[in-house]
Structure 1
Amino acid sequence: HLMCLYPFNQVSAFATDADSVKQFQAAYNGMIARKGDVTGWSMGWQTNTYARCLDGDKAHYNLQRALRHSTSYTIAMGGQGGCYYNLFDAHSPFQIDGNYGCTSGVAEMLLQSYDDVITILPALPSSWKNGSVKGLKAQGNYTVDEEWSEGKATAVRITNNQDVDRQVSVRYDNKVATYDISANATLDIDLSAGLPTGVNKVVNVPVSTIKTIYDLSGRRVNKAEKGVYIINGQKVVF
């Protein structure tokens, strides 16, 4: 039932309307009830879901348990989680889902873009006070590098990997700004003083030029109603 939280985006921590906020809180309460004492694929799952809940410390707790040395090298399906000396996930005996899931969870802790907004350090654990990461991928074919110090983002580099000029929306510390970014160009943002105000424009596409229409989840639709869509590679507000 929590697939609506991850990997889908039907329930979001960034929701603002009353019903969506209640749905998110219910999903988060469901996560807390599980207490994180799981193994294998479920460890990776909870790392991702806690990251989507913006709870970096609980996501980190799951990651720590996934990386502890297993106490069993025989088939034991409960209470014997962690990993072996070769870092294979111990369910046991082995579940690659745990390895892939926890790797995904780390990425979700540092960057999220499922709602078509690149969110910087959404679930940074308190123990990761200083650091940097390069080469994270964001939806829309962007590459993102991040730097942070004392738990606060200091710089972000966003590369547009498409051959078209676009606009990119960036979220940090509950603020969103939109910036122009040229084809195959890199946008450098100094976050040491918070998120700077970007350029916020609505792109008007003549109806006669419309060829393909997609919603923000990447699904093709027949017509655009009220909302935000991607038309001919451009974000359009109706």
Structure 2
Amino acid sequence: MRTAFHVVMILVTGLVMGLIYRSLSNQPSQNANLPGPDEIVHTTDVAPGTKLEPTELKIENTEPVHPVTDEAWLSRFELTERSGKTVNSEDLLGEPYVVSFFFSTCPSICPQQNRKLKELQDEFEGQGVKFLAISVDPETDTPEVLREYAARFGADKDQWLFMTGDLTYVRRIGAEIFQQPVDKKFHTERLVLVDSAGKIEGLYLWPEKAQFEKLKKSIKRLLADKES
């Protein structure tokens, strides 16, 4: 009796397992909708199983990107002096000059720098050397503001020029002509010495005593060369 019961249980278990297997074999595979080895998929924003073509075959973009070509590199400049008159680089030919960058609201470095320039102005008064102070905050530094600022340092109107212009243009003058990185309310502590032919003789760090003294010697040499 017990043997017959075991036989029946084995048959029932086999029947149930067969039904389960048949049910599973009729369902789609979980991997049925995954891309096959020959399919290319670039996005999930399509219906499952969709085969997409490579994008490079549909978009014509064979040329590399090039930077925008700007106008020619600056070799001359033109700015507005505190008097309201326009001064350009051609007006300065024939005499050496020293270029500095500043802004009138600068609380510390600019006043120190301009005191150094006042020292140079006093030492070389009437000897045929000019000084150019170019503002890097033209929105604030109008000719009227520059006139008041220049008066604080006793700047001679003919020897020490205070100049302003469009900021983008001033950036280019600094970088392309005088080799100085300048931006709004930003400048270096270098004074640029230019000879009477308009060529840069050297760039001098005015806070460095040795360099400032060398600047004086270089100015004297350029003045002597001009006279010879």
Could you tell me the TM-score, scaled by structure 2's length? 0.21
More strand by share: 1
Larger radius of gyration: 2
Normalising to structure 1: TM-score of the pair?
Answer: 0.21
Structure with more contact order per residue of length (Cα contacts < 8 Å, sep ≥ 6): 2
From the two aligned structures, give the one with the greater helix fraction. 2
